[in-house]
Structure 1
Amino acid sequence: MPCTAFGKPDLTTFCRLDELGLVAVGQRLELNRATIECRVAEADPWCRKCGAEGKARDTVIRRLAHEPFGHRPTVLMVRVRRYRCDHCRSTWRQDTTAAARPRAKISRTGLTWALQGVVLDHLTVTRVAAGLGVSWSAANAAVLAEGRQRLIDDSGRFDGVRVIGVDEHVWRHTRRGDKYVTVIIDLTPVRYKTGPSRLLDMIEGRSKAVFKRWLADQPRAWRDGIEVVAMDGFTGFKTAATEELPKATAVMDPFHVVRLAGDALDVCRRRVQQHLHGRRGRKNDPLYKARRTLHTGAGLLTDRQRDRLNVLFAVEDHVEVEATWGIYQRMIAAYREPDRKIGKMAMQAVIDSLASGVPPPLIELGKLGRTLKHRAADVLAFFDRPGTSNGPTEAINGRLEHLRGSALGFRNLTNYIARSLLEAGGFRPLVHPQTR
């Protein structure tokens, strides 16, 4: 008695050949490969030139790499019928463009599987090539071409962008120095809590001219729609945004502001260490032992850590470190304050105290105060626009670092930019299997 919950096995449907206009007629399973013999579902006997009905002449075999099923790469052995017209003496083949592009070696379903593997599952091109049973170069060229056509060159990719982040990124380390790119991130989904951030574009170099030129190349309507630009302390990005996006508000995100204070604390600690001992810190030196504890927020200190700091600051020679540490903690407390207005007032008080006159021995706080005074508007703008931070930009930079590690490095910048846009471009809705 047949089971009503199951239908008759159909290799054509199971392998999704009906989506390619093919019908399965046979299969051969080998240890490392599966081959499915197919034919074109629709006959094509009508002459392309005169429209007369032609006669079947013979068949040719077209082999296409298909999406794998199980651990075996799958190959489609498509029998394509050729016709001949007795009226105009022309010949033609059955149309297989539904299965693959002309002269392509990978089926359209195989390309979708490969693109989904790179974009969604973060597979390497080597793994994709092994799954398709093709060479690395063939898989890489196919994935980049498909990704550029369906995703990167999408005309609506920049639509709806209101908040952007900009940062620099090292894409290659060489003996002559690091090579940098400037990354532009769409922070709009994070700002309005509609999704994760995504990589908008990547351009070679890191300077005001590079970012300014990229902004100038964008449509005027798009630039006028940008509300906020999140960035680090690099003045070049700030100047470029001011000149090309006069209506946008520049925001210096908390990560980089606190990092400036943390760097000042480290430099002060090392300077005092050198002054007292004439050498770098060693494991038994109090300043060196407390280097990590000094960077811990006051509210997160354990009793043991608090006692260690009390002993450290009890030494009169460490007063400069204590003063710098106090400013560092005040800045952290301002950002952690739940009430934005109170937090903004606390940060304003820190900036005013550093700008009103710092004792000459506190060299690091003097330098920090000049920086904060110069960028005070950008630092305080964060408190008026909650959720605007360059933190997601740093997260995407981390994903790109992972991409470089998986690929064992890149030498071609064009290839790296394309792979980065596929990796972090936020194209999940376009290739998710539920929407195909």
Structure 2
Amino acid sequence: MVEGRSKAVFKQWLAARPKEWSRQIEVVAMDGFAGFKTATAEELTHAVPVMDPFHVVRLAGDALDRARQRVQQDTLGHRGHSGDPLYGVRRTLHTGASFLTEKQTARLDAVFAVEEHVEVEATWGTYQRIVAAYREPDRKLGKFIIQHLIDSLTRGIPGTLIELRKLGRTLTQRATDILAFFDHPGTSNGPTEAINGRLEHLRTSALRFRNITHYIARSLLETGGFTSALHPRLR
């Protein structure tokens, strides 16, 4: 753990690593933060940056949520309330199409049958295609699906599909890193995200805990970093 979240901080940390250690790094899994990508490109010129699927799917999911909220506001004039059609399917929209029950499918069909909801349906379709690409057993086919999707989002998207246009720009900027996943299957920063989740929980309970040295120690305790020292038999 180091203090700060920026390109400069990550770049300085990488530069301080032993050269032998750096040479062993082949792939770097990351989220969508551009600072991590540029720092990696400058300090680990031989490594392949891969944007983690979780973050790509989350980008699409965020676009879906924003489209739903915008259409909700435009059609009903208020944020989602219990009983509102779009609000009622907010979680179902994020369920993979292959896992939908008959009841969930019927609810979505009813929502999408409303003409004013067409923009939500279009954004939902893009979200589902991204999810399906990552679940595709054939990596070459999955890569093709993602590549075709990114290409389709860069042209011919109506101006009313605000969220899809923005998503298309983001995916295009990181297309190389996104597609690299299919050439390096299994690459994930999931373990890092799991640890980060524990640290977020710690931070909410630590309140005004600001001493960085103490914070690192507390974080190591929270995530099992001292396990081998406290329990020698687990080494």
TM-score bin (small chain): over 0.9
Q: Please state whether the residue corresponding to 2:2 is helix, strand or coil.
A: strand
Higher strand share: 1
Question: How many percent of aligned residue pairs carry the same amino acid?
Answer: 71
Q: Which residue in 1 is equivalent to 2:143?
A: 344
Verify: 1:205 aligned to 2:4, yes or no.
Answer: yes
Matched, 1:267 2:97: no
Cα distance between partner residues in 2 of 1:340 and 1:429: 38
Relative contact order: is structure 1 or structure 2 higher (C-alpha 8 Å, sep ≥ 6)? 2
For 1:5, the equivalent position in structure 2 comes to none
Unmatched tracts of structure 2, length 5 or more: none
For residues 361 and 304 of structure 1, do their structure 2 counterparts lie closer, same or farther at Cα, with a shift above 3 Å needed?
same
- For the residue of structure 2 that corresponds to 1:410, the secondary structure is coil
How far the C-alpha of 1:365 sits from its partner, in A, is 0.4
Contact in 1 for aligned 2:67/2:120 (Cα 8 Å) = yes
The 8 Å contact of residues 227 and 234 in structure 2, kept in 1 or not, is answered as no
Query: In angstroms, what is the RMSD of aligned CA positions?
Result: 1.9
* Cα distance in structure 2, aligned partners of 1:342 and 1:314: 31
Which residue number corresponds to residue 81 of structure 1? none
In the aligned structure 1, how far is the partner of 2:204 from the partner of 2:38? Answer: 33
In the alignment, structure 1 segments of 5+ residues that lack a partner are 1-201
Quote the residue 1:373 is aligned against: 172
Distance 1:250 1:435, change over 3 A: closer
Deviates more, 1:405-414 or 1:361-370: 405-414
Residue correspondence of structure 1 range 105-116 to structure 2 within 5 A: none
CA distance, structure 1, for counterparts of residue 115 and residue 201 of structure 2: 46
The alignment status of 1:322 with 2:121, answered yes or no, reads yes
Shift of 1:221: 2.3
Alignment TM-score, normalising by the size of structure 2 = 0.93
- Match of residue 254 from structure 1: 53
Q: Which amino acid aligns with 2:35?
A: G
Q: Which has the larger radius of gyration?
A: 1
Secondary structure of the corresponding residue to residue 49 of structure 2: strand
Cα separation, 2, equivalents of 1:342 and 1:431:
48
Q: Which residue of 2 aligns with 1:411?
A: 210
Query: Quick one: which amino acid aligns to residue 299 of structure 1?
Result: S
Shift of 1:346: 1.2
Q: Does 1:364 align with 2:139?
A: no
In structure 2, the partner of 1:233 is 32
Tell me what 1:224 maps to. 23
Q: Distance in 2 between matches of 1:326 and 1:224?
A: 42
Counterparts of 1:258 and 1:416, CA distance in 2: 31
More helix by share: 2
1:302 and 2:98 aligned: no
CA apart distance, 1:401: 3.4
Which amino acid is 1:369 matched to? G
Instruction: Tell me what 1:38 maps to.
Output: none
Distance across 2 between alignment mates of 1:377 and 1:414: 38
Distance 1:277 1:435 in 2: 58
Partners of 1:275 and 1:357 in 2: CA distance:
23
Q: 1:273 to 1:435 in 2, by over 3 A?
A: closer
2:29 aligned counterpart, secondary structure: strand
Cα deviation, 1:348-402, whole Å, max 9, x if unaligned, reads 1111111233111111100000110110011111111122112111100122234
